[in-house]
Structure 1
Amino acid sequence: MRLVRSRHDTRSAILGYLWCSGGSFRPELAQGVALTEASISRIISDLKAEGVIQETRRVAPYRGGPSLFVTLSHDIAVAAIEISNNRLYAAVGTLAGDTLYAQHDDLPDGLGAAEVDVTVGRAVAGLAAWARQHGIVPEQLAVSIPGYDPDLRASPIVALDVGRLEEVCQRELPDTPARWTNSMVARAVGYRLQMGTGVLGGSYFFVFVGHGVGAAIVDELAESGDVETCEIGHVVIERDGRYCRCGHGGCLEPYVSTVALADILQVQESELIGGGDRWPELFRVSSAARAEIRARLARLGLAIGNALNLNRQRNVVIAGWPSALPAEDRAAVMAAIGESRLGGLQGISLSFSAASLGREPQAGLALAAFSFIRRSGARRTQLKQSISS
C-alpha cells in the first residue's frame, strides 16, 4: 500500500527511516517508506544538495544490486542540554549519531535556584564556546528537563528557572532553533532510535524507571512524532508515604527509582547507574533484597495498570533498571498490572528494553536529531527564509 504524503512528510519519512536504520540502499529505503524508487529519487537529490544526507559506495548486497548507500550527514551538527540522574549534560553530535562534545555537571537533589542557574549558564556557555572554536553552528538544540511543563516557568523537580535558561540559550546560540520538552520525550525518542526499523508505527505506553520515573504515550512515532508525557512517577500510591523530590509524600518514584533500589542494595546510586545493564551482576542481591525488589516492582505494575485504565493502551514498554532483572523477577510487574487493570491482562503486551542507565546524553542528542528530521531536514537558513516570507 502506498501512502499519500505531502513533500514535507515524505522528506521526514525518508530521513526518519535513515535515522532508525543507520543508512540504507535506495531499494530498501523506498520499501521502508512505502514509496517507489522513482518517487524518492528527486527528494534524495534535493537532500544531498542541501547536505542533509550523503551517498557512499559499498559492496552490493547481492549480485547486480545497488552499490550507493544513503546515510544521514556526518557534517550537520545538533546539540542537547539534558538534565538526568542528578546531572546536567551539554553535548554536540552529528545528525548521523556521532558525539563530538560532551560535558556534565552535578545537580544534586535540593540544589538551590541560584546554584542551578550558575551551573546551567556555565554549561550552555561552555557548549557554545566549543562550537564557536570548531566553527560549528548546530542546526537544532534539544533541551530536556524533568517535569517540564510549557505553562510553568519553573520546574517542580529541579530548581530551574526555565525562562532564564531560554534567555541563556538564545544569547549563546542565537542562530539555533530549540525544542523544549519533558525528559520523558527524550527518553521515548531515544528508545525509538534504539529499536531500529523493525517496529515502525504502532502505539505504546513507554515507562522509564531510573533516578526519575515517568511515562509517555507514543503514537506512531515514526510518522507523526506525537509523544504525550504522563507523570506516572508522581502518582501518589501511599498517602503520607515516602517523601518525593516533587514535594509530595507517597509518590511512586521514591519507591521504585534508582535511589530506592540503591537503598535496598545498600550501595551508592552513582555506582548503580554506572553499572548500566550489568548492575545485577555487579552487586550482591540477597534473598531479602530480591523479595523487596519484587514488592517494589509490584507497586510499579499497579501504577501502570491504573494508568492503562485511563489511556486504553495495550502495548507497554519498560526501560530502566527493571529491564536487567531475570524474567522471574520482572513477572511481578505483569502480575500487578493484571490486578489493577480493568479486564486483567487480556490483550496486554509487556516488553522490557535495555536498561539505558548511564548513557546520557544520547537521549538528548537523539531528540535534537529527531526534531530536525520532523521539520523535514530544513536547514536554519531555509527556516529563516520561510519565516520572513
Structure 2
Amino acid sequence: MRLIRSRHDTRSAILGYLWCSGGSFRPDLAEGVALTEASISRIISELKAEGVIEETRRAAPYRGGPSQFITLSREIAVAAIEISNNRLYSAVGTLAGETLSSEHYDLADGLGAAQVEATVTRAVRDLAAWAMRRGITLEQLAVSIPGYDPDLRASPIVAVDVDKLDALCQREMPQTPLRMTNSMVARAVAHRLQMGTGVLGGSYFFVFVGHGVGAAIVDELAESGDVETCEIGHVVVDPGGGPCRCGHVGCLETLVSTVALADILNVEESDLLGRGDRWPDDFRIPKTARADIKTRLDRLGLAIGNALNLTRQRNVVIAGWPSALPAEERNAVLDAIGRSRLGGVQGIALTFSDASLGREPRSGLALAAFSFIRRSGERRAQGKQLISS
C-alpha cells in the first residue's frame, strides 16, 4: 500500500531515509519511503537543484542494476551547541555528517547563572564568527541542554536562561533557524541515526547512562520526529542518599552516572569518558567494586521497570557505560526490571547499544541535521553560500 504524502512530507521522508542509511540507490530509496521511483523523481530533481542532495555514479550493486547513488549534501552546514560532561561543546558540520569545526568550553556543575551566561555568550559568538570568516551559511542551529523544559525559563540542571540564550542566538545568527531542546532528545536522535534504517521496528524506550541519566520514547524519527523525554535520572531512589545537581537528594543519577562510576573506580571522570567501550578492560575493577556496580545496575533496572509501568513500550535500548560490561553483569538490569514491572519481563526486549561515551558534539550535530530534515530541507534564502573547500 502506497502512502499519500504532501510535498513537505515526501521531501522529509526522502531526506530522513538518506540520513539514516548514509545514502541509497534510487530503487532502494523508493522502497524505503514506500513510493514509486516515478512519484519521487520530481522531488529528487528539486532537492538536487537546491543543493540539498548529491547524486554520484557508483558501481551497480548487481548486474544491470542502478549506478546513480544519492547522498545528503556535503555543501550544507549545520551547527550545534551541546552541554554535556561539565562542558559546553560548539560545532559546525555538514548535512552528510562531516565535522568541520569543534570547540569546547569548561562548564562545571553548579556554576552560577552569571558564569554560565558568560561562557554561553562566548561560545555562541565564537561559533558565529567562525562561520562568518569562512563565508559559511548555517542552515540550522541545534542547542541541547540537560534538564531543558520549555515551561521553565532556566534548567534545574544547568543555570542557562533559555530566553537570553534564544535572544543571543538571534542576534549573532539572525537568519539561522534554532531548535532548543532537552539533551536526551539529541542523544535519542543520534542513536536513531546510528541504528540506520529498518533495524528496530516501532518505537522503543531509550536510556542513556552517562554524566547525566535520561530516557526517551523514540518513535520512527525519519517519519514523525516524535521524541518524548523522561527524566529517569532524577527519580528519587534513596531519600537518605547524597545530593544531586538538580537540588534533590538520592536521585538515580547520584548512583549510576559516570560521576558515581568514576568514584567507585577511583579514577577521573574525564579519563573514564575517554575510554568509551574499553573502560572495563582499561581499569582494574576489584571484586568489591564489581559488587557495588551490580547493586547500582539493580537500581537502574528498578527505575526502568517502574517507568515501563507508565508506558506500553516493550523494546528497551540502553546506551552508556553499562553497555561495555559483560552480558552476565548486565543481566542485573533485566532481573531488576522484572521485579519492578507489573507482569515481570514477559514481552520485554532489552538490548544494549554502544557506550557512546565522550563523543560530543556528535549528538548535537545529529539533532541539527535532523531538524533541517524535519523542515523538509528548505534552504534559508536564494543565492546561498556553499561551504568552501
Say whether the fold is shared (TM-score over 0.5): yes
Indicate the residue corresponding to 2:298 in structure 1. 298
Q: How does 1:38-187 map to 2 (within 5 A)?
A: 38-187=38-187
The change in CA–CA distance for 1:46 and 1:200 in structure 2 (over 3 A counts) is farther
CA positional deviation for 1:201: 4.7
Instruction: Give, as a single letter, the amino acid of the residue that structure 1 aligns with 2:369.
Output: A
SS of residue paired to 1:79: strand
| 1:220 paired residue number | 220
Structure 1 stretch displaced more, 185-194 or 64-73:
64-73
Normalised to the residue count of structure 1, the TM-score between the two structures is 0.97
Whole-angstrom CA distance in 1 between matches of 2:222 and 2:295: 35
Give the CA deviation at 1:200: 6.1
Identity of aligned residues (%): 80
Secondary structure, counterpart of 2:310 in structure 1: helix
Instruction: Provide the alpha-carbon RMSD of the alignment.
Output: 1.0
> Is 1:378 the counterpart of 2:362 in the alignment?
no
Which secondary structure does the structure 1 equivalent of 2:351 belong to?
strand
Query: Does structure 1 residue 8 correspond to structure 2 residue 2?
Result: no
**Partners of 2:147 and 2:308 in 1: how far apart?**
21
| Aligned-partner Cα distance in 1 for 2:151–2:136 | 32
Alpha-carbon distance in 1 for matches of 2:231, 2:4: 35
Aligned to 1:385: none
Query: What number of residue pairs does the alignment pair up?
Result: 382
Partner residue of 2:289? 289
Residue deviations 1:59-116, cap 9 Å, x none?
Answer: 1111111111100000000000000111100000000000001000111111121111
Alignment partner, residue 320 of structure 1: 320
Aligned structure 1 segments of 4 or more residues deviating by more than 2 angstroms: 198-201
1:354 and 2:354 are equivalent in the alignment: yes
Structure 1 window deviating more from structure 2 (180-189 vs 282-291): it is 282-291
Give the aligned residue type for 2:372.
Answer: F
Q: Which amino acid aligns with 2:325?
A: L
My pick for the range that moved more, 58-67 or 255-264, is 58-67
Mapped contact 1:201–1:223 kept (Cα < 8 A): no
CA drift of 1:8 comes to: 1.1
Q: Distance in 1 between matches of 2:299 and 2:242?
A: 13
Unaligned runs of 5+ in 2: 383-389
Are the aligned partners of 1:337 and 1:344 in contact in 2 as well (CA < 8 Å)?
yes
CA separation of 1:301/1:346 partners in 2, compared to 1, >3 Å: closer, same or farther? same
Deviation, structure 1 residue 240:
2.7
Does structure 1 residue 363 correspond to structure 2 residue 363?
yes
**Which secondary structure does the structure 2 equivalent of 1:380 belong to?**
coil
User: CA offsets, 1:140-165, max 9 Å, x none?
Assistant: 10000000011111110011111111
AA of the residue aligned to 2:45: S
- Residue equivalent to 1:250: 250
Amino acid at match of 2:23: G
Per-residue deviation, 1:222: 2.2
5+ residue gaps in structure 1?
A: 383-389
2:163 alignment partner AA: G
- Please state whether the residue corresponding to 1:135 is helix, strand or coil: coil
- 1:104 and 1:301 map into 2 onto residues whose CA distance is 33
Contact kept in structure 2, 1:140 and 1:368, CA below 8 Å: yes
Q: Which residue of 2 aligns with 1:206?
A: 206
TM-superposed CA distance for 1:199, in Å, is 2.4
Corresponding position of 2:276 = 276
Task: Give the secondary structure class of the aligned counterpart of 1:166.
Answer: helix
